[in-house]
Chains A and B, each alone.
Chain A
Amino acid sequence: MNHWSNGPQQNPYQPPNPHQAYVDPRQVWQPRGYEFSPSEETVFNKAGTWSLVLGVLTCVRALLDFTTVPMGGIITIVVAVSLIMASSAFKKITNTRGNDIQHLMGALVSLNHLFIVRLIALVLFVGAILFVVAITGVAMVAFMQAAPGGR
């Protein structure tokens, strides 16, 4: 089979369609498909490996947390999933070609989720501690006032 048998070929040098608006390719050029160099990919690979290690260990911790504090276990699972998703996106940067920036953005979004969940958990934790301290303080004051000889 030769190349003539593939049906009518379009002449690559034919004039453009006069009805089609001319678009200057220099104006539509987008820096898509940016590829990181091998030395840069090493950094992404390392980040992916360590976020995967941390994600797996966090999963194990989540399983242990579920037995004691179910709420903590849920938060830890979300953190672990974010880390594993970030790791997957980092690995795609090194293992695939043509969409490095898109994969990088995916990894950064996952890391953003990780930080947001951790910050919310911290606020809830500090809030819970303050609530317990406040309740204990109120209870102690009420107990001292109710006790005989209290002021």
Chain B
Amino acid sequence: MMTGQGPYGPPPYGGQPWHAAPHHYAPQPTGYEFNPQEEVTIERVGKNARRWGVASMVGGGLSLLLGGAVVALAFTVHEALFHTVGILGGALVLIGIPPLATGWSYYAAGRALRAVHTSRGDDVSHVLRALRGLTTGFQIEAIVLGLTLALMIALKVAVHALQSGMRL
């Protein structure tokens, strides 16, 4: 023994500090590995995010295709109906774009979460990549929903104002 105080004595002066654990035992600031239970939760979220992403992309894609078809139809109908059918087709195309974008974001997030389960050594960066994807999806959804709500409220106010004016 260096200090002559037995194995339970205070740490010796100098040398390696007592709290410096061997490298492979020390918690690392990066390279955190989730335990199997946590990985199951993450994998489940990833699977459902991918499912929802695919569903959104299919919905958006169908709306986009239908809108394109209606716009094409607008050129074949009578001139009086051209604007009505064209606007309907354009609206369907516009409605289809946000679900495509959010669907892709959620799908990418789901893939990143699956990578946590399937790979080792970079779990935190995969989770952060997934969260960036989810955030992008939330941003697009929030902006579209905000605009939709503003439009709905404006329409309700306009209808209410018209009804009040008619009563007068």
Closest 5 CB pairs of A and B: A115-B48, A50-B138, A54-B142, A112-B45, A47-B135
User: Chain B residue with minimal CB distance to A90?
Assistant: B131
Asked if A57 and B142 sit within 8 Å, CB to CB, the answer is: yes
Asked if B142 and A119 sit within 8 Å, CB to CB, the answer is: no
Of B48, B124, B135, which contacts A112 at CB under 8 A? B48
Is A122 an interface position by the 8 A CB rule?
yes
Is A94 an interface position by the 8 A CB rule?
no
Q: Which of B36-44, B67-75, B84-92 contacts A (4 or more CB under 8 A)?
A: B36-44
Of residues 25 to 46 in B, which have CB atoms within 8 Å of A's CB atoms?
A: 25, 27, 29, 32-34, 38, 41-42, 44-45
Of B38, B44, B149, which contacts A64 at CB under 8 A? B149
Using a CB–CB cutoff of 8 Å, the interface residues on chain B facing chain A are 5-6, 8-10, 21-22, 25, 27, 29, 32-34, 38, 41-42, 44-45, 48-49, 51-52, 55, 106, 124, 127-128, 131-132, 134-135, 138-139, 141-142, 145-146, 148-149, 152
Asked if B52 and A26 sit within 8 Å, CB to CB, the answer is: no
Cβ of A78: which chain B residues have Cβ within 8 Å of it?
none
Using a CB–CB cutoff of 8 Å, the interface residues on chain A facing chain B are 13-16, 26, 29, 31, 34, 36-37, 40, 43-44, 46-47, 50-51, 53-54, 57-58, 60-61, 64, 83, 101, 104-105, 108-109, 111-112, 115-116, 118-119, 122
Cβ of B52: which chain A residues have Cβ within 8 Å of it?
115, 118-119
Instruction: Answer whether A50 and B27 are a contact pair too, CB < 8 Å, given A13-B10, A57-B146, A108-B41.
Output: no
Interface SS majority for chain A: helix
User: What are 19 A-B contacts with C-beta separation under 8 Å?
Assistant: A13-B9, A13-B10, A40-B128, A43-B135, A47-B138, A50-B135, A51-B134, A61-B148, A64-B152, A101-B32, A108-B41, A108-B45, A109-B41, A109-B45, A111-B45, A112-B41, A112-B44, A112-B45, A115-B106
Asked if A13 and B51 sit within 8 Å, CB to CB, the answer is: no
In whole angstroms, how far apart are the Cα atoms of A104 and B49 in the complex?
A: 16
Cβ of B41: which chain A residues have Cβ within 8 Å of it?
105, 108-109, 112
Instruction: Answer whether A43 and B132 are a contact pair too, CB < 8 Å, given A34-B32, A54-B138, A57-B142.
Output: yes
Asked if B138 and A40 sit within 8 Å, CB to CB, the answer is: no
Cβ of B132: which chain A residues have Cβ within 8 Å of it?
43
Q: Tell me the smallest distance from the CB of A120 to a CB of chain B, in Å.
A: 11
In whole angstroms, how far apart are the Cα atoms of A99 and B138 in the complex?
A: 25
Asked if B48 and A57 sit within 8 Å, CB to CB, the answer is: no
